[in-house]
């Protein structure tokens, strides 16, 4: 007779298999599926999600948890099995608050809504998307009611991406970031912009992908356990640590888009590929939370790949691939161009100084939506007003306005703030890594990333979801989420770049 913990793992392992299968279908939907497959694919995924949800929320899970718990109580607090029981019980209590039929209906409608969003965005047709978006907002509000909350319905949704995070915590951090980032953006706007004309020249897709993936491999992305494809909205997904995939999108007349998306998604992938194998096929075989995941994508995309020493190292190689387009450009000019600050329409293309302003705008709108202060029909107009207020730009259409992101198309409310907090956590973690091993920064200049990756693997990646985000922050950096390292990083880097 195997132990109760082993029986629990066997049960959770089957659920894990089903959810990996569902993610394969999701990956295919975003990459290779012909548009005609949407309706049937929605049905496939709805069935899987219903199976996953009902199996996980079953009495069987509760019985196995109850049996396993006493076996793990005498283990050290950090033992995999003890963490497994604790985290799974929290997940269980949360997810059984949603009825299975509700989850299946949401999944099915979200899949279709996402498909409509893709077509409506291409056609710049917000009215076609609007009824689906209304339905998604309704699902999100109903989910908040099912989950329950003390202070604000948004807390219930945030908890799904960042367990334990409250609306008030988000406000506290954004309130510190807001004036600092607005002041910095304003000071920079008084300065002369660096040249960036060369970024818009002719850059064949093939060579962009070749460069991005070669650098990703040097970061440590294991291509025996990974691959790169094209998707309309870049993402990373994984089916266990041995199959971790990334996507990007190409613009042959704008070089930074694809390569920085590759570096960003590689940051996510490094996290997933380096979770301890002892956690495989369990619910702990995943990054800790959205904030921690985004901290890693932003760390590799920005703190590493937008640094001066990175481009001193890699610009010569880039110029070999694009000799005509980069003939009259120096490494330093390239570094300045990919860090130029310019209020813009698109969040994913925003520079580091204005990026969080895009998030603050979305956070305010999500507050309005969840509180029924903003109607879906009014979104394009409210969006435009807020864009002018926060960034001083006016969207020419809805494609590059309210329809630019995929998140709302599936009812994912509460997700956006984790991007801003991820920036903050990335800087906090990087600062800690540099204090522990000051040689890390110099290694970037030599194209060596093993020091940084090793430190992150040891201190962060290997733990997967063993700890709650608030606990992991203290474990990795010695303190809770703190906006100061990010603000100091921005002020130092952009102060030097713009001579402030
Ligand atoms: Zn990301």
**Ligand 1 centroid distance, CA of 169 (Å):** 21
Q: By C-alpha distance, which of 294, 240, 269 is closest to 422? A: 294
Give the CATH number of the domain where residue 382 resides. 1.10.1370.30
**Ligand 1 centroid distance, CA of 419 (Å):** 7
Q: How many CB atoms lie within 10 A of CB 76?
A: 8
What contacts 74, CB < 8 A, 6 or more positions away? none
Residue 104's pLDDT is 83
Report whether pLDDT(42) > 90.
no
- Assigned domain for 320 exists: yes
Mean pLDDT of 121-125: 96
Structural domain including 52 reads: 4-148
Task: Verify that 385 and 473 share a domain, yes or no.
Answer: yes
Residue 255's pLDDT is 97
Reported confidence tier of residue 1, pLDDT bands at 50, 70, 90:
low
**Ligand 1 centroid distance, CA of 67 (Å):** 38
Task: Verify that 121 and 227 share a domain, yes or no.
Answer: no
**Ligand 1 centroid distance, CA of 418 (Å):** 10
Q: How far apart are CA 465 and CA 18, in angstroms?
A: 19
Cα dist from 249 to 174, 194, 198, 254, 399, whole Å: 30, 25, 19, 11, 16
Reported confidence tier of residue 125, pLDDT bands at 50, 70, 90:
very high
**Ligand 1 centroid distance, CA of 434 (Å):** 23
Sheet with 236-238, edge to edge strand ranges: 226-230, 244-248, 236-238
Phi-psi region of 392 (alpha: psi -120 to 50; beta: other; left: phi over 0): left
Helices and strands in the chain, H and E counts: 20, 3
Task: Verify that 13 and 92 share a domain, yes or no.
Answer: yes
- Assigned domain for 155 exists: no
Reported confidence tier of residue 30, pLDDT bands at 50, 70, 90:
very high
C-alpha distance across the termini of the chain, in Å: 69
- Assigned domain for 159 exists: no
Task: Verify that 193 and 136 share a domain, yes or no.
Answer: no
CA trace torsion 423, 427, 428, 434 (10° rounding):
160
**Ligand 1 centroid distance, CA of 264 (Å):** 6
Strands 226-230 and 244-248: parallel
Task: Verify that 330 and 421 share a domain, yes or no.
Answer: yes
**Ligand 1 centroid distance, CA of 265 (Å):** 6
Question: How many residues can be counted in the chain?
Answer: 500
Question: Per the structure block, which two tokens stand in for 50?
Answer: 């219903």
Task: Verify that 236 and 140 share a domain, yes or no.
Answer: no
In degrees and rounded to multiples of 5, residue 236 shows phi and psi of -120, 145
**Domain final position from 148, 178, 213:** 148
Number of domains into which the chain is organized: 2
**Ligand 1 centroid distance, CA of 153 (Å):** 25
Task: Verify that 134 and 262 share a domain, yes or no.
Answer: no
Task: Verify that 117 and 218 share a domain, yes or no.
Answer: no
- Assigned domain for 376 exists: yes
- Assigned domain for 174 exists: yes
- Assigned domain for 465 exists: yes
The residues annotated as belonging to the active site are 265
Reported confidence tier of residue 111, pLDDT bands at 50, 70, 90:
confident
- Assigned domain for 317 exists: yes
Q: Could you tell me the pTM of the whole model? A: 0.93
Strands 244-248 and 236-238: antiparallel
**Ligand 1 centroid distance, CA of 259 (Å):** 14
Q: By C-alpha distance, which of 25, 19, 6 is closest to 53? A: 19
Task: Verify that 79 and 194 share a domain, yes or no.
Answer: no
**Domain final position from 92, 119, 148:** 148
**Ligand 1 centroid distance, CA of 156 (Å):** 22
What contacts 335, CB < 8 A, 6 or more positions away? 306, 308, 311, 312, 315
What is the per-residue pLDDT across 238-270, written as a single tens digit (0 to 9) for each? Answer: 999 999 999 999 999 999 999 999 999 999 999
Maximum Cα–Cα distance for the chain, whole Å?
Answer: 73
**Domain final position from 104, 120, 148:** 148
Burial 352-367 (b: 16+ CB within 10 A, else e): bbbbbbbbbbbbbbbb
- Assigned domain for 158 exists: no
What is the per-residue pLDDT across 430-462, written as a single tens digit (0 to 9) for each? Answer: 999 999 999 998 999 999 999 999 999 999 999
Provide the mean pLDDT of the chain.
96
What is the per-residue pLDDT across 309-341, written as a single tens digit (0 to 9) for each? Answer: 999 999 999 999 999 999 999 999 999 999 999
Task: Verify that 92 and 206 share a domain, yes or no.
Answer: no
Cα dist from 26 to 42, 114, 133, 244, whole Å: 10, 11, 20, 14
Residue 154's pLDDT is 97
Task: Verify that 78 and 211 share a domain, yes or no.
Answer: no
**Ligand 1 centroid distance, CA of 296 (Å):** 8
Task: Verify that 311 and 257 share a domain, yes or no.
Answer: yes
Report whether pLDDT(2) > 80.
no
Reported confidence tier of residue 95, pLDDT bands at 50, 70, 90:
confident
């Amino acid at each position: 007779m195997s132990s109760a913990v082993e029986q629990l793992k066997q049960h959770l392992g089957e659920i894990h298999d089903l959810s990996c299968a569902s993610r394969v279908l999701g990956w295919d939907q975003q990459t290779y599926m012909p548009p005609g497959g949407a309706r049937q694919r929605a049905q496939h995924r709805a069935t899987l999600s219903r199976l996953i949800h009902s199996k996980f929320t079953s009495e069987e899970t509760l019985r196995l948890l109850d049996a396993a718990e006493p076996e793990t109580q005498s283990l050290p607090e950090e033992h995999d099995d003890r963490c497994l029981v604790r985290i799974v019980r929290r997940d269980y209590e949360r997810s059984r608050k949603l009825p299975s039929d509700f989850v299946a209906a949401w999944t099915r409608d979200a899949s279709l809504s996402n498909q409509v969003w893709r077509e409506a965005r291409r056609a710049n047709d917000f009215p076609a998307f609007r009824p689906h978006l209304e339905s998604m907002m309704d699902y999100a509000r109903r989910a908040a009611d099912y989950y329950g909350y003390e202070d604000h319905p948004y807390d219930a949704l945030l908890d799904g991406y960042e367990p334990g995070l409250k609306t008030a915590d988000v406000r506290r951090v954004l309130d510190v970031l807001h004036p600092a980032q607005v002041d910095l953006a304003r000071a920079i706007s008084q300065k002369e912009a660096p040249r960036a004309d060369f970024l818009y020249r002719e850059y064949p897709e093939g060579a962009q992908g070749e460069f991005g993936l070669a650098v990703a491999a040097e970061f440590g992305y294991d291509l025996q356990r990974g691959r790169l494809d094209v998707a309309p909205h870049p993402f990373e997904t994984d089916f266990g640590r041995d199959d971790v995939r990334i996507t990007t999108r190409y613009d042959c007349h704008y070089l930074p888009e694809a390569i920085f998306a590759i570096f960003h998604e590689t940051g996510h992938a490094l996290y997933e590929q380096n979770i301890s194998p002892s956690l495989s096929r369990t619910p702990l075989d995943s990054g800790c939370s959205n904030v921690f995941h985004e901290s890693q994508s932003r760390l590799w995309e920005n703190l590493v790949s937008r640094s001066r020493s990175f481009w001193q190292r890699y610009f010569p190689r880039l110029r070999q691939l694009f000799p005509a387009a980069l003939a009259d450009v120096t490494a330093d000019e390239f570094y300045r161009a990919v860090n130029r600050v310019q209020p813009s329409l698109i969040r994913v293309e925003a520079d580091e100084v204005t990026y969080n302003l895009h998030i603050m705008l979305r956070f305010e709108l999500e507050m309005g939506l969840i509180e029924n202060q903003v109607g879906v029909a009014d979104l394009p107009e409210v969006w435009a007003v807020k864009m002018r207020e926060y960034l001083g730009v006016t969207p020419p259409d809805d494609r590059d306005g309210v329809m630019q992101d995929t998140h709302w198309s599936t009812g994912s409310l509460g997700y956006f703030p984790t991007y801003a907090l991820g920036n903050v956590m990335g800087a906090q973690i990087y600062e800690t890594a540099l204090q522990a091993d000051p040689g890390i920064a110099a290694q970037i200049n030599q194209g060596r990333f093993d020091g940084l990756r090793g430190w992150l693997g040891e201190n962060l990646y290997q733990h997967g979801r063993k700890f709650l985000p608030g606990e992991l922050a203290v474990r990795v950096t010695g303190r809770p989420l703190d906006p100061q390292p990010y603000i100091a990083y921005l002020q130092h880097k952009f102060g030097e770049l713009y001579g402030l």
